[in-house]
Each structure stands twice: as structure tokens, then as C-alpha cells.
Structure 1
Amino acid sequence: MAKHLLIYAAAGIITLVNFFLTPSQQAVRLFDGKSFKGWEGDTLKTWRIENGAIVGGSRFTKVPNNEFLCTTRSYANFDLKLKFKLEGTEGFINAGVQFRSKRLTDPAYEMIGYQADLGDKYWASLYDESRRNKTLIAPEESLIKKILKLGDWNNYEVRADNQRIRIYLNGQLTVDYTEPDANIPQSGLIGLQIHGGGKAEVAYKDIFIQELK
């Protein structure tokens, strides 16, 4: 009887906590593991779903240009968590997670905005895609060597809170950046990238986002 009372009490506490959490405080799944619902991009040639993951590119065929699979809605302040695996056999093996971004019209396959970068010399750094076209801040290579699981699944986190951006790789802080330019947009789409120019394949799964106030 006492055991049952404890179970009921615990359930009541969980219900009470969930009641007081606003929608902006709860993490939601961005990818359901089986469909592209809530996403848009080249799902005919570039992007596919395999074993509960979004997969882009190929280890056997050269990716002709950058491609992005994007959310259909914008986000401003958030904590984004996901898992990624990047593999390749030739050329520039690179990918990344765009955020506070938008699609360009020329070329139509590109995006402009922040990117939590992935790939040799770029792991877990912050890049400014199609805008300033440079790495804004990067971690020490010695740290990456310690924490990166090359060719395996890694945990990735991007926390964007007003002007402050933090990136974590496998639980380790790699970027802590505060945007000094007030003209840079602080909201936009989230996009999953496979970079062009190499025989490379990237997979993303367990994608969750928690919007912040």
C-alpha cells in the first residue's frame, strides 16, 4: 500500500511540474524519426530517412553543392540538442547545423546565418555562412581530439540566448560567443547541412529543441 502511495505521489508531482511549465520551457522533438514533417528541402536526391535518422549526401558519390534541410518555422532563443555522425571517403568532408538563418534565392540551395560547424578543422566551431564567411570562434584542436568520436555518433548542443551563443560537443563547451553586431538577425530557420565538394554523408537524429524566453 505504501509503495502504491509513493507511486501516486510521484506521478502527482510530475503532473504538477508539467502544469507549471510553459510551452517555451518544454523540449519538443523536431524530427519524428520517420517523416519530414516540419522540414523542407531536397528530399528526392539529397536527404532521406534511414533507421530513425535524417541522412544527407553519400560516401560514394560526390555531393555537388551545399544542401540544407530546414525547419518550416523560425526560432529565436532556444536550446537545441541532437546527435550527428559524419563520414566520408574523399574531398571536403563537412556538415553543420544552421540556426537563426534563412534561405537565399541566388543560389537557391544556400543559406545565410550562423552555423555550428562540423568537419576537420571546423569541429564544434561557430561559422557565419554566406554573410561574413568566416569562423567567428573555434575551440582548441587538443580539446576536439579528446572529446570527438570520429565516425561515430556524437552529442551536439546549440544554446542561443539573445546575443550569446554556446556550442557543446559531447557535453563539453567549445564555443561561448557574444554577438557584438546589433544588426545581425537573432531569429530564423534551423537547417541541417551536408557540404558540397566531397564524398561525404552526414546523419542527424534525436533532435530536440527547448525554446527560451
Structure 2
Amino acid sequence: MKSLIGIALLSTFCLHMAFAQKQKSTPLFDGKTFQGWEGDTQHTWRIENGMIMGGSLENTVPHNDFLCTQKTYANFILRLKIKLTGDQGFINSGIQFRSKRLQNPAYEMTGYQADFGKDYWASLYDESRRNKTLAKPDDREVLTWIKFNDWNDYEIRAVGRRIQLFINGKMSVDYEEPDTSIPQSGLIGIQIHGGGKALVAVKDIYLQELP
């Protein structure tokens, strides 16, 4: 009986902590409008049933495209749900952070990316800057964590020069930035990668800013 009471108390505590953590977070997407975001909302990005959606399963995405916040962020915990579908061409997406828009081409972004796609699941990529994967999980193990063609919980923790990525509760990356010239603040963005018939959907986007 005591063990059952202990389990019940622990479950109640965990639920309370999860609720308290969410209370500290701010929704970045209201589920209805692009308020606080900017990007190609005429052709690439749209809102359907409380989700941000980008790309197409009918036509090949011509080039990388990003929907990004209008506000910059430095230290934070970002939580969201992401689903990637498609089976023709390069099927890839990701979440930019501590990033900025490029002028040429204007649709591109540069900065850290929490990657999401075949061969890049839950890895940390440096988009349009060093152009390489900075850290990644074990290739075989991460495949057991991913829910293919379904919703996945993605979490990004960026504190100081340390970056941690979690997919469905599993830590995939724990990275410390050695280059002191790399900016540690910037925009957050959602990517759809060019070169495939792919569709990304994102919802329940919450951000907790940290000192």
C-alpha cells in the first residue's frame, strides 16, 4: 500500500512540475495567425487546424524556406511538436535558432539548426555558416526514438554556449560551442528543405526565456 501511495504522490508531483514549467513558458504561435512571425505566407507557409505547415506533397519544394520569429532570443528552452511527411526527393526540416536572415538569397537563414530528417534526425547543424553537422546522436539508436510520419516532441535548450537537443524525451545532442565568435542570440525559424516533395507541420510551440 505504501508503495502505491508513493507512486501516486510521485505522479502528482511530476504532473505539478510539468504544469508549472508550462506556466513559465510563452506560446510563440496562437494557432490562428502569423502574429510574431514573418516569411513567405503566400506560397510556402500556411495555417491549418492550429498547425503551421510548410512545403508540399504534390510539388517539389524549389529551395530552402524559413518562417521565422520577428523577435530574437538568447537563452531559452523551446518546446514544440513536429511532423515531417513525404517520400520523394530530399525530405528534411528543422528548427533554426540563434539565427538571422540572409540578404542573398533572402529566403535563407544562417545559424544553428536542430535538424529533422533522414540521416539528420535530432542532430545539430550549422546552416549556411560552417555548413556541417556539429553534433549528432547514434545513427541506429535515434531511429528507435523517432515517430515516422507522426508527431514528435522536440526540445531545444540553449544556455550560454551549451546547446542540448531532446527528441521524444531522449537527449540527442549535448554540445558546447568552442568558437567565441559565433553569435549566441538570434531568431527562431522553421525550415522546409528544398529538393523534395515534403510537408512539415509544427504546433504547440512554447518558449521559456532564461537569464
TM-score normalised by L of structure 1: 0.88
1:140 positional shift: 0.5
1:142 positional shift: 1.9
User: Who is 1:110 aligned against?
Assistant: 108
**Matched residues, percent identical?**
64
User: Who is 1:30 aligned against?
Assistant: 28
What is the rounded CA distance, in whole Å, between the counterparts of 1:64 and 1:145 in structure 2? Answer: 28
Q: In the alignment, is residue 42 of structure 1 matched against residue 44 of structure 2?
A: no
Q: RMSD over aligned Cα, in angstroms?
A: 1.4
What is the rounded CA distance, in whole Å, between the counterparts of 1:61 and 1:73 in structure 2? Answer: 31
**Counterpart code for 1:154:** N
> What is the CA deviation profile of residues 174-193 of structure 1, one whole-angstrom value per residue up to 9, with x for unaligned ones?
00000000000000000000
Q: In the alignment, is residue 86 of structure 1 matched against residue 89 of structure 2?
A: no
What is the rounded CA distance, in whole Å, between the counterparts of 1:59 and 1:52 in structure 2? Answer: 19
> What secondary structure is seen at the aligned counterpart in 1 of 2:144?
helix
Unaligned runs of 5+ in 1: 1-13
Unaligned runs of 5+ in 2: 1-15
User: Who is 1:64 aligned against?
Assistant: 62
Contact 1:86 1:203 in 2 (8 A): yes
User: Who is 1:139 aligned against?
Assistant: 137
Match of 1:127 among 119, 122, 125: 125
> What secondary structure is seen at the aligned counterpart in 2 of 1:173?
strand
Match of 1:202 among 193, 200, 203: 200
Q: How does 1:6-21 map to 2 (within 5 A)?
A: none
1:89 positional shift: 2.6
**Counterpart code for 1:32:** D
Contact 1:83 1:154 in 2 (8 A): yes
User: Who is 1:9 aligned against?
Assistant: none
Contact 1:126 1:136 in 2 (8 A): yes
- Deviating 4+ runs (over 2 angstroms): none
Contact 1:60 1:89 in 2 (8 A): no
**Counterpart code for 1:58:** S
> What is the CA deviation profile of residues 147-186 of structure 1, one whole-angstrom value per residue up to 9, with x for unaligned ones?
1000000000000000000000000000000000000000
> What secondary structure is seen at the aligned counterpart in 1 of 2:137?
coil
Q: Greater Rg, structure 1 or structure 2? A: 1
